[in-house]
Amino acid sequence: MSDPVVDKIQSHPKYRQLRAKRSSFGWLLTILMLVVYYGYIALIAFNKPFLATPIGSGVTTVGVPLGMGVIIFTIVITAIYVRRANSEFDDLTAEILKDVNK
């Protein structure tokens, strides 16, 4: 059985636009995250001396701020996605629902 409301939503041109935008943006952020994360892991695997290089005369090494950078990058791209989802994606969703409920 098929729900007529679901069929109307899925055939709506703005729904297709929403799916395309959300999907491409999600894939872009996923690829960026994979590059950053696996780049850091590759540094750990293949260039330990670089990561073990002390910063200044202290005991902190280059690997610590790079690791923190990976964590901060994750938070930033999550915030970017949430901001776009709460504005552009939610606006498109509201327009679709408004058109379908007419």
pLDDT tens-digit series, residues 16-44 = 999 999 999 999 999 999 999 999 999 99
- Alpha carbon 50 to its chain centroid, in Å, reads 28
| The two structure tokens encoding residue 98 | 């408004």
Q: According to the model, what pLDDT value does residue 6 have?
A: 86
Dihedral class, residue 56 (left if φ above 0, else alpha if ψ from -120 to 50, else beta): left
End-to-end CA distance of the chain: 23
Decide if pLDDT at 7 tops 60.
Answer: yes
Q: Are 43 and 53 in contact (CB under 8 A)?
A: no
Q: How many CB atoms within 10 Å of residue 15?
A: 19
Largest separation between any pair of C-alpha atoms in the chain: 70
CA dist 73 and 67 (Å) reads: 10
Dump pLDDT digits (tens) for 34-80. Answer: 999 999 999 999 999 999 999 988 899 999 999 999 999 999 999 99
Q: Are 28 and 36 in contact (CB under 8 A)?
A: no
Q: What pTM value is reported for the model?
A: 0.83
